[in-house]
């Protein structure tokens, strides 16, 4: 009997080949197999590219889909898409502060024998995969993503579902990784179905995925049918720059929305990529325009090899001030710092309202400032006013 030979799709190694390539022309699995896994593979695709030391790969791998490579400026080394995915010599430099591989302390909150991070009382993070379609250089889970030791085995997934099922107080489950959408439809169908069958007390089931943005063709009618069948209520996607919002992405986002699924946007504040008021205004308005609600803007986590992306706290406050009041209210996300060692998401907000003691000592007065700098005093908000009780005759 003749044995069938499976030929892997070849990489697109010249600019002409890449520009002629239509990501929607083949199944997502084939594009996934065409990923670039070393910056040298892009030498005839991108000009002015930094040639980094091979030791960078010892800490964190490279993986870039052809679709994302198409979005990279062929000549500009400071292209915001390039900066997010191409390795840099900065990754080997030591900053003047401490960095960690598990900066968020997730391992300390992971239930033994599972891949469930149970930090908050009623919700859990369920890490189902250590694989992504394209690897972000600022990834907070470098300890497991792309690392063989970070693989989530089938028995771990089973024990994780058992843990969720046995804890009736858990009503919110977020599937993340890696990226859950790197699983094929059959595997994803099984995991989502098992959660719904064995843990009917889960009221809110959601997925966090960067793959929707990095390889939009992963979103198919078949995938959306699975998400709808198992009542996945929300898909959070991750976009850092307006250049990532393309006609193909808009088209595939609509497929998810037609399945009745809410969509949220998460963004990481990255130096040189999006630490600019005009960029963020445009990003959030384009997101809300396509029906994706901006949710969080994270400070860059102090994970190894990502320190050069960190935007100072004072600049994050300035960015927030440049957004709130200047764009549509529903398009304004919450800016947060993910506290070191597992402290959780902590909102950072400029001071718009302050309470001060009145000069006469009788209660307090409230001073308000709007986005334009206009101020007003509202002493009534500082009083503890009570309606007098009515006496009965």
Catalytic residue numbers, as ranges? 119-120, 123, 132, 136, 139, 141, 301, 338, 345
Q: Distance between CA atoms of 284 and 280, rounded to whole angstroms?
A: 6
The tokens 């898909």 sit on which residue? 235
- 253: its two tokens: 């986002």
Distances (CA, A) of 251 to 95, 119, 160, 290, 291: 41, 36, 34, 9, 12
Contact 208, 240 (CB under 8 A): no
Distances (CA, A) of 276 to 106, 158, 215, 302, 328: 30, 44, 26, 21, 18
Distances (CA, A) of 335 to 80, 134, 173, 316: 20, 25, 22, 8
DSSP letters for 270-321: -TTTT-SHHHHHHHHHHHHHTT-EEEEEEEPP-BTT-GGGPPPHHHHHHHHH
Q: Distance between CA atoms of 140 and 306, rounded to whole angstroms?
A: 9
- 225: its two tokens: 């049918």
Q: Distance between CA atoms of 327 and 285, rounded to whole angstroms?
A: 7
Which bin fits 231, alpha (ψ -120 to 50), beta or left (φ > 0)? left
Q: Distance between CA atoms of 215 and 248, rounded to whole angstroms?
A: 10
Nearest to 290 by CA among 320, 330, 350, 347: 330
- 43: its two tokens: 């030498």
For Cα atoms 80, 262, 299, give the angle at the middle one, nearest 5 degrees: 35
Q: Distance between CA atoms of 6 and 355, rounded to whole angstroms?
A: 70
Q: Residue 119: beta bridge partners? A: none
Number of C-beta neighbours around residue 78 at 10 A: 10
Contact 318, 368 (CB under 8 A): no
């Amino acid at each position: 009997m003749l044995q069938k030979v499976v030929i892997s799709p070849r990489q697109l190694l010249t600019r002409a080949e890449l520009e002629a390539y239509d990501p929607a022309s083949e199944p997502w699995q084939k594009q996934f197999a065409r990923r670039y896994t070393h910056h040298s593979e892009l030498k005839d695709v991108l000009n002015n590219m930094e040639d980094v030391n091979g030791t960078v790969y010892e800490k964190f791998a490279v993986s870039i889909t052809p679709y994302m490579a198409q979005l990279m400026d062929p000549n500009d080394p400071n292209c915001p898409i390039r900066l997010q995915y191409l390795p840099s010599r900065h990754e080997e430099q030591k900053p003047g502060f401490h960095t960690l591989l598990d900066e968020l302390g997730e391992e300390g909150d992971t239930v033994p024998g599972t891949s469930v991070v149970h930090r908050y009382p009623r919700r859990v993070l369920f890490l189902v995969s250590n694989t992504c379609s394209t690897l972000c250089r600022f990834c907070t889970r470098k300890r497991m993503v792309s690392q063989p030791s970070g693989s989530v085995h089938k028995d771990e997934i089973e024990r994780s579902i058992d843990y969720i099922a046995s804890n009736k107080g858990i009503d919110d489950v977020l599937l993340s990784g890696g990226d859950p959408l790197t699983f094929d439809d059959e595997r994803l169908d099984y995991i989502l179905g098992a959660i719904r069958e064995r843990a009917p007390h889960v009221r809110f089931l959601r997925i966090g995925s960067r793959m929707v943005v990095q390889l939009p063709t992963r979103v198919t009618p078949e995938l959306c049918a699975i998400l709808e069948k198992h009542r996945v209520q929300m898909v959070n996607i991750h976009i850092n720059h307006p250049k990532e919002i393309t006609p193909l992405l808009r088209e595939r986002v609509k497929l998810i929305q037609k399945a009745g699924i809410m969509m949220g946007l998460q963004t990481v504040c990255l130096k040189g990529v999006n630490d600019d008021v005009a960029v963020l205004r445009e990003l959030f308005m384009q997101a809300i325009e396509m029906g994706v609600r901006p949710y969080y803007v994270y400070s860059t986590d102090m994970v190894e090899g990502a320190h050069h992306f960190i935007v100072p706290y004072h600049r994050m406050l300035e960015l927030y001030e440049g957004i709130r009041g200047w764009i549509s209210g529903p398009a304004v996300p919450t800016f947060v710092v993910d506290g070191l060692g597992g402290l959780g998401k902590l909102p950072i907000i400029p001071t718009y309202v302050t309470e001060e003691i009145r000069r006469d000592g009788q209660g307090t007065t409230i001073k308000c400032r709007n986005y334009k700098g206009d101020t007003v005093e509202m002493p009534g908000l500082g009083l503890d006013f009570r309606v007098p009780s009515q006496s009965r005759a």
